[in-house]
Amino acid sequence: MKEPFYPSYVELSKSSFQQNISFLRDYVGEDVLFSSVIKGNAYGHGIKYFVPLAEECGIRHFSVFSSDEAREACRASTQEDTHIMIMGMINNGVIAWAIERDVSFFVFELDRLRAAVKEAKRIGKPARIHLHLETGMNRLGLDSDTFENIVQLLKENHEHLRLDGICTHYAGAESVGNYVRVQEQIERFREYTSWFEDHGIEAEHYHTACSASALNYPETIMDMVRIGIAQYGFWPNRETYMNFVKRHPDINKKHRDPLNRVISWKSEVMSTKMVPAGEFVGYGNTYLTSRDQQIATVPIGYAHGFGRNLTNVGIVLINGERAPVAGLVNMNLLTVDITDIPAVTKGDEVVIIGVQGEQEMTVASFSEMRNFMNYEVLVQIPSTLPRHIVS
């Protein structure tokens, strides 16, 4: 769906998302609480567009990184029973807002827990918290030497705190190189949760699994999972996909990926021009025509996430054919060689990520051209671009 005011636009496939959710729910178990991770503007898919889409597909729990994302998710939600959970940054001054709106949040330091108790007492409503335990990531998390203080605060203020969860995060579950470290974290989490239970503290949910750990370490699937990249149709990395296929040969027999890409990114031909042989195209002298060439301009550039490092190596799809970037990628436009693509005219669809005819530009291929992970490519798609839900 073209947008006359915008140089490009994003499409989100509802059927692809529904298929991903069906596969993932079947894998983790229908009784497991599925939390849809929508940090980073829903991995570039757009929080305000993605949340209602996910709700239509039955999702009622969302995980964000920070309070600003939580606020956007609350505004986007259309269902009264949807819950938002903050996994990372929330200033103590915003805790009251979270309590009032029933938003839960991770606690990984005593200061935040004390602030939660203070605000809950003042408001007269319990704060919904998740104890984030340090198990070896060494980034965020409650250290074991704080556990006794935590227990004391929880017991003394039980009417002001609702312990929604006890959780941790693994240090690179997508790579076999981190196997020993992850196994140590799994064991440590078991040890710590047993300690809390022995001291009379039990949570409503226990959750440690993200996409990578759920797919690589099934034992990390507890009664709740936090699934990010996989729900959007991407494996955390190729290694995860290969390991999964080895463990599930039935998938290999079908010769198809059970995850479908939800996002497509499209633009249009802005203009076309015949450039004689021996002429430079665009800024500088990075591209010299070797023959009379037809050049098309496309109104996207590095300001839109199509990086300058794609100069002379990037590819887009036009009229079902691969059109190589010819010349420097500019801030707001790029030039591509369409000499061998017949009948290209102004307004023709350009696919940056997605399918056109029998050709496809995947996020993985786009990522490899940029030397980025697919995560990075996705989150750099501008949030200002319109998103459309398609079947």
What number is the average pLDDT over the span 236-244?
A: 90
> Which entry of 39, 43, 170, 217 is annotated as an active-site residue?
39
Q: Is 283 a known active-site residue?
A: yes
Alpha-carbon torsion 55, 59, 61, 63, what sign?
negative
For 97-107, the pLDDT digits (tens) are 999 999 999 99
Q: Which two tokens stand for residue 333?
A: 């436009």
pLDDT of 3 reads: 74
Q: What is the mean pLDDT of the chain?
A: 95
More confident residue, 247 or 101: 101
For 302-312, the pLDDT digits (tens) are 999 898 999 99
Strand (E) positions, the chain? 9-13, 33-37, 61-66, 83-89, 104-107, 127-132, 161-167, 205-207, 224-227, 263-268, 271-275, 293-298, 315-318, 321-324, 334-337, 349-356, 359-361, 387-390
For residue 117, pLDDT over 80 is answered with yes
14-254: what CATH class?
alpha beta
For 197-229, the pLDDT digits (tens) are 999 999 999 999 999 999 999 999 999 999 999
**pLDDT confidence of 256, banded at 50, 70, 90?**
confident
Between CA 52 and CA 30 the distance in angstroms is: 21
The CA-atom distances, in angstroms, between 28 and each of 17, 24, 203, 235, 339 are 16, 6, 20, 15, 50
Say what the alpha-carbon torsion angle 75, 77, 83, 86 is, to the nearest 10 degrees: -40
Q: Domain extents for the chain?
A: 14-254, 263-361
Q: Which two tokens stand for residue 11?
A: 């499409």
188 carries a ligand binding annotation: no
For residue 370, pLDDT over 80 is answered with no
Residue 169, amino acid: H
Backbone angles phi, psi at 76, to 5 degrees: -80, -25
Least confident of 36-45, 274-283, 330-339, 366-375: 366-375
What number is the average pLDDT over the span 367-391?
A: 85
For 161-186, the pLDDT digits (tens) are 999 999 999 999 998 899 999 999 99
What number is the average pLDDT over the span 340-351?
A: 96
**pLDDT confidence of 2, banded at 50, 70, 90?**
confident
Residue 1 CB burial class (10 angstroms; 0-12, 13-18, ≥19): exposed
Q: Are strands 9-13 and 263-268 parallel, antiparallel or unpaired?
A: antiparallel
What number is the average pLDDT over the span 52-78?
A: 98
Q: Are the C-beta atoms of residues 363 and 356 closer than 8 Å to each other?
A: no
For residue 373, pLDDT over 80 is answered with no
194: nearest Cα among 182, 183, 184, 206: 206
pLDDT of 254 reads: 65
For 5-19, the pLDDT digits (tens) are 999 999 999 999 999
What number is the average pLDDT over the span 142-163?
A: 97
How many Cβ atoms from other residues are within 10 Å of residue 81's Cβ?
8
Residue 212, amino acid: A
Domains 14-254 and 263-361 share a fold: no
pTM for the model: 0.94
263-361: what CATH class?
mainly beta
DSSP, residue by residue, 266-287: EEE--EEEEE-TT-B-SSTTS-
> Which entry of 2, 246, 273, 283 is annotated as an active-site residue?
283
**pLDDT confidence of 252, banded at 50, 70, 90?**
low
More confident residue, 26 or 3: 26
**pLDDT confidence of 230, banded at 50, 70, 90?**
very high
Q: What residues pair up with 226 in beta bridges, in sequence order?
A: 35
Q: Collect all residues with Cβ–Cβ distance below 8 Å to 319 and sequence separation of at least 6.
A: 341, 342, 343, 344, 348, 356, 357
- Measured N-to-C along each axis, helices 14-28 and 47-56 cross at an angle, to the nearest 10 degrees, of 60
331 carries a ligand binding annotation: yes
Q: Is 266 a known active-site residue?
A: no
